[in-house]
Structure 1
Amino acid sequence: MTFFLGFWAMAENRLSEKDETNIRKLIQQQVDAWNEGNLEKFMETYWKSDRLSFVGSRGPTYGWQATLDNYKKGYPDKKAMGHLDLKVLNLSQIDVKTVLMIGRFELTREIGDVAGHFTLVIQKIEGEWKIISDHSSAEN
C-alpha cells in the first residue's frame, strides 16, 4: 500500500505536458527578446514584483525595476547584448505551481563571449508562468 501511495503522490506532482510547453515557450520568449535587443520584452518573463530576486556576479538584486535597471546598465545596446542561446539541462517540479530549472547560457558578442549556468525558480502566478528568482553565474 505504501508503494502505491508514494507512486500516486509522485504522479500528482509531475509537470503536465501543457505546463512544460508553456515554460519552454517562456524561455524562448526570453531568447527572442534578448536577441532583438529588447530588454523590456525580455523582462516580461519575470514576475513584476518587488520580491523578484536576481543573483549575479555582483550579488543579489531585489525587485523587477531594479533588475531591469541593472540589465540596462550592463547591456546598454544590442552590441553589448550580443546573441543569446539558452539550454535547459533540468526541469523539476517543486509543487503544483512551482518549478526549478537549471540551464546553460551562451552569450556571443564582439566584445567577448560569456557563458555559464543559471538556476530559475518559475511559478504560476494568476495563470501565467513567471520567473520569480534567477541565479546566473558566468564561467569566465
Structure 2
Amino acid sequence: MRRSLIRTALFLALAGIPAATLTSTALAQKEGEQMRVLPQAELDVVKVLLAQERAWNEGNMEGFTASYKNSPDTLFIGSTVTRGFEGMVATYRRNYPDRATMGRLTFSDLEPHLLDDHFATLTGHFALERDKKHGGNAGGVFSLVLEKTPGGWKIILDHTTS
C-alpha cells in the first residue's frame, strides 16, 4: 500500500501539485502508525529508486546503474564489499547477464531520511521475481546513502542483504 501511495505522491509532484496538498493519511507506513506526507526533497530521493526499478524491469542495466555515483569511492556491500563504480557495474553484469536472469524487480517500504542538504539515507525491501532456472525468486532489505550531486541524487553506499 505504501508503495502505491508513494507512486501517487510522485505523480502529483511530477504534475506540479505540491506534496503538502496530500492528506496526512496519504503515506502510511504500517497500519496504526502515524501517517505523513513526504516533502519534495524526500520524494526526489524516492524517485531514484523508482527510476532504478523501471530501468531494471526494462532490462536496462546502464539505466539502473546510472543511479549510482560514478566514483571510485562508491561502495556496494552484499555478500562481499565492492569498491568503486566500475567494479560494482562489472559485478551486476556478471550476476545478471541477461534479461531472464534480471527478472522483475520491485521495491517496497521505502523510507527516505534527509541528513542535510547534500546527503540522505533510504531503506526498504526488494523483491526479485524470476523463474527457477534463472535463479528463482529473491528478496531482502537494503540501506542506501545518497549524495546530492549536480546530476541529482546518486547512491554512494548500497548495503543490500537477501
Shorter-chain TM-score bucket reads 0.7 to 0.9
Equivalent residue, structure 2, for 1:37: 59
Q: 5 Å matches for 1:78-97?
A: 78-97=99-118
CA contact (8 A) 2:107 2:125 kept: yes
Q: TM-score, normalised by structure 1?
A: 0.82
CA displacement, residues 10-69 of structure 1 (integer Å, 9 cap, x when unaligned): xxxxxx822222212111110001001111110110001010000011x11011111000
Number of residue pairs matched by the alignment: 122
CA contact (8 A) 1:103 1:118 kept: yes
Q: TM-score, normalised by structure 2?
A: 0.72
CA contact (8 A) 1:99 1:121 kept: yes
CA displacement, residues 96-123 of structure 1 (integer Å, 9 cap, x when unaligned): 2111111000000002100100000011
Residue 116 to residue 61, structure 1, CA distance change in 2 (3 Å): same
Q: Distance in 1 between matches of 2:39 and 2:115?
A: 16
Choose between structure 1 and 2 for higher RCO, CA contacts under 8 A separated by at least 6 residues.
Answer: 1
Please tell me whether residue 137 in structure 1 is matched to residue 161 in structure 2.
yes
% same residue: 36
Residue 92 of structure 1, CA deviation: 1.5
Q: Distance in 1 between matches of 2:59 and 2:109?
A: 22
CA displacement, residues 78-104 of structure 1 (integer Å, 9 cap, x when unaligned): 100000000144222222211111100
Q: 5 Å matches for 1:1-140?
A: 17-57=39-79, 59-111=80-132, 112-126=136-150, 128-138=152-162
Residue 127 to residue 72, structure 1, CA distance change in 2 (3 Å): closer
Q: Which runs of 5+ in 1 are unaligned?
A: 1-15
**RMSD, aligned α-carbons:** 1.3
Residue 99 to residue 83, structure 1, CA distance change in 2 (3 Å): same
Q: Which runs of 5+ in 2 are unaligned?
A: 1-37
Amino acid at match of 2:154: K
Residue 127 of structure 1, CA deviation: 5.5
Equivalent residue, structure 1, for 2:6: none
CA contact (8 A) 1:105 1:117 kept: yes
